[in-house]
Structure 1
Amino acid sequence: MGNWNTFTKKGIVALLAAFLLVSLQGPLPSYAAEVNAEVPKVIEKTSPSVVAIIGKPSSDSDRTLDKNRFNLAHGTGVIVESNGVIVTNAHVVKDMKNIVVVTSNGTTYNGHATNIDEESDLALVKIDATGLSPAKFASSSDIKVGETVAAIGTPISFALRNSVTVGIVSGLDRSVNSQYQLIQTDAAINPGNSGGALINMNGEVIGINTMKYADFGVENLGFAIPVDTVKYVLKHFQLYGKVKRPYLGLELEESWEAVVGLPSSTGLRVAYVDPVSPAAGAGIQQDDLFVSIGTSKVKTLVDYNEAIKKYLPGETIEITIQSGNATKSKSVTLGEAQQQETKHTQDAEGSYLDADRGKTKIGDSHYGWSMKYPAGLVKGHQSDDGDSVSFVDAKGDFSLTIKVESNQSDELSPSALLNRLVSDDEDDYSGAASTILERQYVKREGNPYAKIVGRSGDDGYIQTRGYLHQGSLYTVQLFVSKEHYNNNFKQNSYNDLLDSFKLSFNDKDESLKDISVYSGGNTTYTNEYGLSFDLPSNWQQGGYTGGSSFFNDDYSQMLQVGVTSASSGDTLGAWVDRQRKQFEDSYAPKYRSMEEPEELTLAGVPALKLTYASTLGNKWSAGYSLFFIKDKYKYVVDVSYPQEEEGATLEDLLKTLTATIKVDKDSMDQELGFIQDLDELMDPNRTVTYKNEKFKYTLQIPEIWTISNSYDSKDQVNKTFLFTGGYLSVGAETKTTYEEMVKEEDAAQKKSQDNDNDYTFTDAEISLFGDLKAKKYEISYASAKIPYKETIYIFNQNNISYTATLRIDDAVRTETNQARLNKAFESFKFLDGVKK
């Protein structure tokens, strides 16, 4: 749609080799002005086959973007059938509504996209016409590096349709930001040329222009989709209505040489295999190397795509792989890749290219205001809830801003309202007037207002009007440049526009355009992994966690997002089972509850919802997790809240999430790689060594209890190792004897028991670590808040008295947690060699 296409870093690096080849293979484009006299004849012959395409862009990414009559997109197309079938780029028409096609002779037709294939960036547009001039396609074998070519298209502006640029074929088989090979040309290709024809001097189409590399100091670097790929896609459109692509079910990774554009000596590495796929069924495994598909060698992803496109789903092919030191041949029956179907829709306003045809007024139905809508008024930025909106004149003569502030007093006096407007201007420095020229309260029937006119430096003039209405302050501010302000005719038109502002909205008036974006207070959030969802507007994002956490206004409810890569062979069910076991290992049955996983659909793929609750003994915390896998990434959305808050509000939150969760592959950060799920690697029983040189002991501590680098703290008198709901603590004394420590602990335990009937303990003299004398205390505290059990050991070795405390809340006293705590204490060793 006239977008200026650029490349990923990978594409930029790949271009290094392309630049070298261009300098060796073809002359510099300076000869273009001297091309032979055949060019005009070729253009005259071919131009009738090239059309200009214009329409209205459509995107749900920002609800505040206005679909005004000047917000248009354009591109180019090539006629392939005389009855009005036109090929163009998929990116031209993918998000385009109310398409209009203009032929080279100026005839206008309404059109619509019938087929879209984003993988090849090709699409078909149909218009109701007959007797058109279809283009003639060249044979790919006839395309030569260095031959003269011309690009016909609609660059920059729709007024420049059927513009011609001339150059040469700079290179073939380019692997640049595309699934398939591309033609490189130095014929100028600019925004709007997309979808147009690249022709040879026989008047034949050799490619469909698709992109230009744009950067400072880089010129004449454009690319086109070769005719072979165009014919392949058109044939599939004709036979199947879509491109039927084979599916193997694996993720492939290029070698370093292939990434930077060097000839690769190795094949493609298998980075991931879908466990339920043709590749898995044929025994292809992670880290295998692709050598060939049929007779085609494959060393890059483009090689792979070019080779696989020769086959149809259901066909059986031979794939040669290298597995370890062995080269193997695998027979694979191809599946079919699933792709999202694109459906054509018209705007609610109808099929007109002018989105605002018949609209003479504009307003906001939620905030209840309206005013005149001149043809040149263009909506700019609008806040998420629509309480602030700006307009500009299409010719740049003026700008207008309307703001609505709720919870205001209707009892402000005229003087107070005028002062309020001045203070608001000063707070918003960008809209402040340096010199006040006029200040008055206008007693207009039905709509009285405060008015201030001021000079804004040397730039222009600002008129601000303030209206109080039903507890809200409506501020209308007009900025006019100095030259236009002094034009009496224009000044009258500006005042007429301001005078038309009304504190009412007539929803039965068909000439009134509603720009309200208020959606019940929801805000859309999107992250780098392509995940987006809506939350109530009173929720806020937790910046300290990198934007992965969100909270409601009183912080009682929280949402967290987790994104990791799906490891080869992992499944949704296996992933959720691991999470269930982890939860069950963390809480005792009495203190937890968990429902069976519920099947649902999120982002167009199968998902599971896991609902759970837990407590440490006082209040219950509840929540649910939404799990799904899409585009090789695992997504989990965790929502937690106090159990007593369950009700309609949380049900509405769940409905909002399940209805709005989406994953857009195009909006993912292009530099994303493999993100390991740490839970898959973590061994909960793995231990690290803590050594205290000064007090001569070591412990083997579970790695999951604390961050491993915390064990670098040396020779602490007291060391505590925490886990959820408990801890192991070791203290050491050199100045207090064993007997003194036992005496002090006896007194402390008896005092606690005397003061609280819920606190009980037993004590006994035991032997530890063989025949070491020790005192053991077992405490049980049945508190109404958080009941727990505690075991204290006091012992002495080498004139050092030790106190070890093992504490665990009843809520987390599972067999797993208790065994882990006991094992950690039992790992205690003295550095002098005394065996435990």
Structure 2
Amino acid sequence: MGNWNTVAKKGATALLAAFLLVSLQGPSPSYAAEINAEVPKVIDKASPSVVAIIGKPSYDSDKTLEKNRFNLAHGTGVIVESNGVIVTNAHVVKDMTNIVVVTSDGTTYNGHATNIDEESDLALVKIEASGLSPATFASSSDIKVGETVAAIGTPISFALRNSVTVGIVSGLDRSVSSQYQLIQTDAAINPGNSGGALINMKGEVIGINTMKYADFGVENLGFAIPVDTVKYVLKHFQLYGKVKRPYLGLELEESWEAVVGLPSSTGLRVAYVDPDSPAAAAGIEQDDLVVSIGANKVKTLVDYNEAIKKYLPDEKVDITIQSEGKTVTKSVTLGEVLHPETKWREDAEGSDLDADRGKTKIGDSHFGWSMKYPAGLVKGHQSEEGDSVSFVDAKGEFSLSIQVDNESDELSPSALLNLLTGSEEDDYDDMTPSTILERQYVKREGSPFAKIVGRSGDDGYIQTRGYLHEGRLYKVQLFVMKDHYNNDFKQNSYNDLLDSFKLSFNAQDESLKDISSYSSGNTIYTNEYGLSFALPTSWQKSSYTGNSAFFNADYSQMLQVHVTSASSGDTLAAWADRERKQFEAQYVQKYRKITDPEELTLAGVPALKTTYAETLGNKWTAGYSLFFIKDKYKYEVDVSYPQDEEGSELDDLLHSLTSTIEVDKDNRDQELGFIQDLDELIDPNRTITYKNQKYKYTLQIPEMWTSSKSYDNKDQVSKSFLFTGGYLTIDADTNTSYEDLVKEEDAAQKKSHESDSEYAYTDEETTILGGVKAKKYEVNYVSAKVPYKETTYMFSQNQIAYTVRLRMDAAVRTDANEARLNKAFASLQFLDTVTK
């Protein structure tokens, strides 16, 4: 297992894509209680076993996102042990901190997630309690399609905990956006019902509610995790603290019929075999068809998961496959899927559910301001630098923004008022009054300010205040809806909030909440492949290459990220060795250095680090490459820098990278497919034909070279073919004779030698390309400490004068590179002599 998710599944049908976690809302059915006279008794029996769960959603390190007291998430759980063990959905608590559990009688407990299994979407929450009412679990074999069931949970709002909806079992063994089979029900399941109980009319739990189908015109379509799967996961949690899943090392692909929901007549195609895996050791290969696991036929991924969960790691299982038309059975000793351990987390601000308990003021320690913090004030967007922040009122009555810009303290009151009015040159304002009602300079002791009050169209009113302090302009802007502005009581409260703004921040005041997002430390970057890592805040992403390249402040250091798919059977060692050989083939030995790979661990998997250095003869560029393979993708992180900058700063960068690199499949673009590593396909000796009809020549150029074209005032065209450390250039001239071009070249070569005696050249008459008479110049020179050799051939053919220059730096003049350059020149032919 572990690597079995399939490209086919990712791009399945719109039906599968529309299945969402119950955070989506849809219509709910209504059932009369008289459908079953026993329903109230059943609910009385089961409801004490169902709890409501509430907590704070966790975020990444982006400080511009607000964690306020109103930003909460909730779901439902089912008591499984009287001492406070509760089962719920993994998606309910996976990203939840500061968990609070409320029982049906209204008792509140602090809790924490002890076990999370995302594959089954089940988790355990523990509270310190005793004497609770654990649920009674049914058997999946007793569940019948059409029997009456009830769903108990916390829909929509936490105030609606232990709500009940009634319906029937609509279907069994459903396969929808889940690793395992599900129960289908038409009992209404709404946002917040996740993790709650689906019970039968004996009061027994037959499933844990997990998702619903939400789409326009679709009703009564919810799903629950069957009780047998719940029991399987709970048993593993109890015995091992996690679900011990067998690992085969296969990525399996369903047939077209299975993807669209038709009965499939074929097995699962092996799309990828993880190197050094149990499957690889057993001889299972790409494109084999997996027919059965033990005695269980498998035609879908859900079939596979249901079959494999009957085994434990280190057990042997017979796997029947079809390979090249033959059916064979292979005995495989199963490995184990490794998952990170669940850790109890609490918010950085403490264990209290209210993140701002005790905070009556708010401010920014870096920019040095503070003000009152009413309970209903909610922070919205904040710039990465922290110089701009917005707030909204929880009831929607007003919004407030604070912006800090550099500005001279010498502005006069009139200039400041004019600035706040919002002239055409004013780049600060995104809310300019349509009508000014008040404009004045308020001489408040210690912090005078400019004040503008005006109407904002027909929607409301804007008050803007501007303060000048220590080279900064602090602009505080309040927008109030029209219906509330003319209420004297509320207007007094708005003015009180504005009057509380101060140009100071008391770090010793425990009632003051600091929202500063300014940081001189690290910034976390995440790309579409789920790769994340930390870089110093001073670094920036390249505006040309998106997330793939990053530079330090002076552009002397660079980090590049390359992500490709791991081809079936490829290994970490083989990949790193290919990269090493390419590097060694590019440079002459005295101009390069490279170390043997160093083993380390990145993102929880084995990795290799290779350190290298290269030069063209002037300055050495050093760097290192980090290689690792995870979830069928190859991740390469390359860092380069001037070798003379090596020291503690770069050591810190390496430590930061290796300690923060992570890969999260949840952050990966779900539309990603196979990304071919082009280095696996490149043949440095493969050539392509370049043909120039106008200037009547053709030649064979290595496919990996690049090309460019330029013109001069004489209609002379220059075509260049480039590679690292060299080029081949062909100039074709129809206006200048061969003899004149030779005279010009002779003069240029002599002038270069006279200007610098180190510039040495030779010239001679020669014959090239099977009989073409030419003038040959050969130069060996060191330019800017970079030694190079350049050979120039000048000749005439078809009444066209040609100049061909072959240049190569000494650093890359390997036998192979030189042979490719000479071979490219030797392939030059003229169209009137080419056989058609």
Question: What's the CA shift for 1:280?
Answer: 1.5
Could you tell which deviates more after superposition, 308-317 or 56-65? 56-65
* Cα displacement string for residues 345-398 of structure 1 (whole angstroms, at most 9, x for unaligned residues): 233443322222222222222222222222222222222232222222222222
Contact 2:174–2:181, Cα closer than 8 Å, also in 1: yes
Could you tell which deviates more after superposition, 585-594 or 742-751? 742-751
Contact 1:627–1:637, Cα closer than 8 Å, also in 2: yes
* Cα displacement string for residues 137-170 of structure 1 (whole angstroms, at most 9, x for unaligned residues): 2211122223222211101100111111222222
Contact 1:250–1:272, Cα closer than 8 Å, also in 2: yes
Candidates 6, 10, 14, aligned match of 1:12: 14
| Separation in 1, partners of 2:514, 2:291 | 59
Give 1:422's aligned residue: 421
Question: What's the CA shift for 1:633?
Answer: 1.1
Could you tell which deviates more after superposition, 335-344 or 654-663? 654-663
Go from structure 1 to structure 2 and tell me whether the alpha carbon gap of 1:331 and 1:802 turns closer, same or farther (over 3 Å shift).
same
| Separation in 2, partners of 1:376, 1:524 | 31
Question: What's the CA shift for 1:736?
Answer: 7.8
Give 2:216's aligned residue: 216
Question: What's the CA shift for 1:749?
Answer: 3.8
Question: What does 1:243-322 correspond to in 2, within 5 Å?
Answer: 243-322=243-322
| Separation in 1, partners of 2:329, 2:315 | 16
Go from structure 1 to structure 2 and tell me whether the alpha carbon gap of 1:671 and 1:716 turns closer, same or farther (over 3 Å shift).
farther
Contact 1:523–1:535, Cα closer than 8 Å, also in 2: yes
Go from structure 1 to structure 2 and tell me whether the alpha carbon gap of 1:834 and 1:39 turns closer, same or farther (over 3 Å shift).
closer
Go from structure 1 to structure 2 and tell me whether the alpha carbon gap of 1:739 and 1:57 turns closer, same or farther (over 3 Å shift).
closer
Question: What does 1:329-368 correspond to in 2, within 5 Å?
Answer: 329-368=329-368
Could you tell which deviates more after superposition, 626-635 or 741-750? 741-750
Question: What's the CA shift for 1:80?
Answer: 1.3
Go from structure 1 to structure 2 and tell me whether the alpha carbon gap of 1:40 and 1:705 turns closer, same or farther (over 3 Å shift).
same
Give 2:821's aligned residue: 821
Counterpart code for 1:414: P
Counterpart code for 1:124: L
Any idea what SS the aligned residue of 2:525 has?
strand
Give 1:408's aligned residue: 407
| Separation in 2, partners of 1:314, 1:335 | 6
Any idea what SS the aligned residue of 2:783 has?
coil
| Separation in 1, partners of 2:317, 2:707 | 50
Contact 2:49–2:134, Cα closer than 8 Å, also in 1: yes
Counterpart code for 1:519: S
Give 1:434's aligned residue: 434
Give 2:577's aligned residue: 577
| Separation in 1, partners of 2:455, 2:51 | 49
Contact 1:29–1:168, Cα closer than 8 Å, also in 2: no
Counterpart code for 1:213: Y
| Separation in 2, partners of 1:521, 1:655 | 14
Question: What's the CA shift for 1:12?
Answer: 3.2
Go from structure 1 to structure 2 and tell me whether the alpha carbon gap of 1:647 and 1:471 turns closer, same or farther (over 3 Å shift).
farther
Any idea what SS the aligned residue of 2:544 has?
helix
| Separation in 2, partners of 1:346, 1:657 | 25
Number of aligned residues: 815
* Cα displacement string for residues 16-39 of structure 1 (whole angstroms, at most 9, x for unaligned residues): 99xxxxxxxxxx978778723232
Give 1:233's aligned residue: 233
Give 2:589's aligned residue: 589
Give 1:528's aligned residue: 528
Could you tell which deviates more after superposition, 610-619 or 48-57? 610-619
Counterpart code for 1:156: I
Go from structure 1 to structure 2 and tell me whether the alpha carbon gap of 1:680 and 1:424 turns closer, same or farther (over 3 Å shift).
farther
Give 2:568's aligned residue: 568
Go from structure 1 to structure 2 and tell me whether the alpha carbon gap of 1:494 and 1:16 turns closer, same or farther (over 3 Å shift).
closer
Go from structure 1 to structure 2 and tell me whether the alpha carbon gap of 1:770 and 1:361 turns closer, same or farther (over 3 Å shift).
closer
Go from structure 1 to structure 2 and tell me whether the alpha carbon gap of 1:600 and 1:420 turns closer, same or farther (over 3 Å shift).
farther
Give 2:198's aligned residue: 198
How many percent of aligned residue pairs carry the same amino acid?
A: 79
Any idea what SS the aligned residue of 1:791 has?
strand
| Separation in 1, partners of 2:183, 2:120 | 14
| Separation in 1, partners of 2:771, 2:53 | 92
| Separation in 1, partners of 2:707, 2:185 | 56
Contact 2:597–2:608, Cα closer than 8 Å, also in 1: yes
Counterpart code for 1:399: S
* Cα displacement string for residues 646-673 of structure 1 (whole angstroms, at most 9, x for unaligned residues): 5565555444434443322101111111
Counterpart code for 1:408: E
Counterpart code for 1:673: G
* Cα displacement string for residues 712-768 of structure 1 (whole angstroms, at most 9, x for unaligned residues): xxx997543222222223456788887776666555544443443222222344454
Go from structure 1 to structure 2 and tell me whether the alpha carbon gap of 1:11 and 1:80 turns closer, same or farther (over 3 Å shift).
farther
Can you give the 5+ residue segments of structure 2 that lack an aligned partner in the other structure?
A: 1-8, 20-27
Question: What's the CA shift for 1:309?
Answer: 0.4
Go from structure 1 to structure 2 and tell me whether the alpha carbon gap of 1:500 and 1:708 turns closer, same or farther (over 3 Å shift).
closer
Could you tell which deviates more after superposition, 32-41 or 490-499? 32-41
Give 1:806's aligned residue: 806
Go from structure 1 to structure 2 and tell me whether the alpha carbon gap of 1:457 and 1:284 turns closer, same or farther (over 3 Å shift).
same
Question: What's the CA shift for 1:792?
Answer: 2.9
Give 1:56's aligned residue: 56
Any idea what SS the aligned residue of 2:791 has?
strand
Counterpart code for 2:419: R
- Using the size of structure 1 for normalisation, the TM-score is 0.90
Go from structure 1 to structure 2 and tell me whether the alpha carbon gap of 1:834 and 1:677 turns closer, same or farther (over 3 Å shift).
closer
- Using the size of structure 2 for normalisation, the TM-score is 0.90
Question: What's the CA shift for 1:71?
Answer: 1.3
Give 1:174's aligned residue: 174
Contact 1:384–1:523, Cα closer than 8 Å, also in 2: no
CA RMSD after TM alignment: 3.1
Contact 1:14–1:261, Cα closer than 8 Å, also in 2: no
Go from structure 1 to structure 2 and tell me whether the alpha carbon gap of 1:143 and 1:755 turns closer, same or farther (over 3 Å shift).
same
Any idea what SS the aligned residue of 2:367 has?
coil
Aligned: 1:374 with 2:378: no
| Separation in 1, partners of 2:17, 2:386 | 45
Question: What does 1:411-490 correspond to in 2, within 5 Å?
Answer: 411-423=410-422, 427=427, 430-490=430-490
| Separation in 2, partners of 1:404, 1:829 | 68
Counterpart code for 1:661: I
Counterpart code for 2:90: A
